[in-house]
Amino acid sequence: RTTTTREVYYVFVTHFRSQRECDSAILDVAKVLGVSRRSLGLSASPKGWFCGCVEITRRGTLPSGKDVSGTIDGTALSSIQGLPITREWIERDVEGRNEQGVEISVSSKGAKCILVIEKEGVFNRLSEERLYDRFPCIMVTGKGFPDLCTRALVKTLHEELNLPVLGLCDMNPYGISVLSVYFCAGDRMGVDGNYRYSVPIEWMGLRPTCFKEVHEKHKLPNTVFQALTDLDRKRMDSLTDEMSPYLDEDEKDEVAGEMKYKVELEALYWLGADFLGDWVFNKLKTRFE
C-alpha cells in the first residue's frame, strides 16, 4: 500500500508543526536508509502540468480488468492547465510499463524542444495562447521547485524524444535555483537527488542581458524593479561558486555582474498582454534558426 506525504502529515499532525517539517523528516529517513521515497511507499500529490506537441499512449489493462488503452494529445486541452504529471513517470520501468503493467509511450508531434517554465501563472498564460501552435514545443511546469514526477517526466521526454530542454524563469536567484534542480537536485534528496532524473537545461531567460535589451527599447516603469535581499545574495553566491555545477562560467559572470535587481516575468505584461508570449516565441525562433 502507498500513501501521500500529505496524508502522513495529517496522521501525525501532533508530531509536526508543518507539512515542510514532515517532508524534511521523510527526506532524512530515506537518506539514512539509502532508499528512494517511493521505496517507502510515499509519494507527493500531483503538482506539475504539461501540454504541447506530444502524445501519450497507454496500452494494457488494470488488475481489475479495465482496459485503459488510448492516446492523449497534448494539444487537445480541456483546460489551460494541460495534463497533470502523475507518479506513473517515476513508476515506469525500462520497458515503459508502470507498476500495474500498463505500457506508457511518448511520441513527439514535431516538437523542437521542451520548455520548462518556473511559474504556473506564466505556464497557464502561454498555454492559453497556445504557444506550441506558433512554435512546436512541449511545455512543462513544476510550479516552482519541481517534484520527482515532474523531473522524471522531463527526463523521459528529453531522452526518448531527443529534445533539448530550455528553462524560463524570473530574473532572480530563486528562479535560476528552480531551473538548477532539473540539472542537479542536490544531496538533500538522497538517492532521489543529485543527478537522478538529471537533464541538461539551458537558461533561456529571463536573463539580465535579455531584460536590459527589453528595458532599453521599451522603458519599463520603476515599479517592476525589486531590490535584492540578503537571501537573494546568498543564493547568488551559491549559484556563482566555482563548484556550483549548473551555470557555465559566462552565465556565472552574467549573474554576478549584471543581476543588480530582481524582475518578475510578469513585468513584461506592462508592455501589452501579448508581449510575453511574443518575446518567448521570438527567443525560441532565434534559438532554433
DSSP-assigned letter for residue 7: H
Confidence of residue 25 (pLDDT cuts 50, 70, 90): confident
- Long-range CB pairs of 246-254 (<8 Å, 24+ gap) are 246/176, 246/179, 246/180, 246/183, 246/184, 247/176, 247/180, 247/203, 251/203, 254/207, 254/208, 254/209
Instruction: Tell me the pLDDT tens digit for each residue of 67-93.
Output: 889 999 999 887 777 899 988 888 888
Q: Angle formed by the axes of helices 230-240 and 173-183, to 10°?
A: 40
**Is the confidence at residue 187, as pLDDT, over 60?**
no
Amino acid letter, 259: M
Instruction: Tell me the pLDDT tens digit for each residue of 132-146.
Output: 999 999 999 998 889
HSE toward the beta carbon, residue 151, CA cutoff 13 A: 24
Three cell numbers at 208?
Answer: 539580465
214 or 187, higher pLDDT: 214
Mean pLDDT of the chain: 87
Average pLDDT over residues 181-207: 76
Average pLDDT over residues 157-163: 95
Closest CA to 91 of 36, 52, 138, 54: 36
